[in-house]
Amino acid sequence: MKTLKLFIAILALSVGVANAQFTKAELQVSGLTCSMCSKATEKSLRTLDFISDIKVDLNKNIFVLTFKKDVPVNIDMISKKVQNSGFFVNNLKLTFNFDNVKLAGNYFNYEGNTYKLMNASHPISGEVAVTVVDKGFSPPNVYKKYQPEATDSGKPGKVYHLTI
């Protein structure tokens, strides 16, 4: 009987983790000067196996990324692909599905990394847009604003800081 209860608990946890996922992103890139720059960045981003579609708004230098379901998203790779194209991430707004995600002191884990919600004050569920405020993902003035609160020693994996 204890084995059955343990199996059911593990199954419930694994289903909850499977539902937790980044679903899309709005990526603003700085330094783009022409459509060829945009095309080079798009081509580089398309090599990431977790991206299913990209729509580009050349007027705002925004790439709307749609992620594949049940494929882990690596936001560092997004930044790396943009930088390898010769440009910089100016803003990264992600949509995360918080269904079945347990927040512990405004922290949650996803794919071995820790994410801290810097301004969450109420229970969160469903798809919520969050903005990464770490260096390399946001303008320097935004990064400086949240830097003093970014003390996360002892957390597993890399720690990313997000605002809602």
Token pair belonging to 134: 């770490």
Token pair belonging to 149: 């609160």
Over its C-alpha atoms, the chain yields an Rg (Å, rounded) of 17
pLDDT at 18 over 60: no
pLDDT at 17 over 50: no
pLDDT tens string 81-139: 999 999 999 999 999 999 988 888 889 999 999 999 998 877 788 999 999 999 999 99
- Show the domains of the chain with their CATH numbers: 20-163 (3.30.70.100)
pLDDT tens string 52-89: 999 999 889 999 999 999 999 999 999 999 999 999 99
Instruction: State the pLDDT at residue 152.
Output: 75
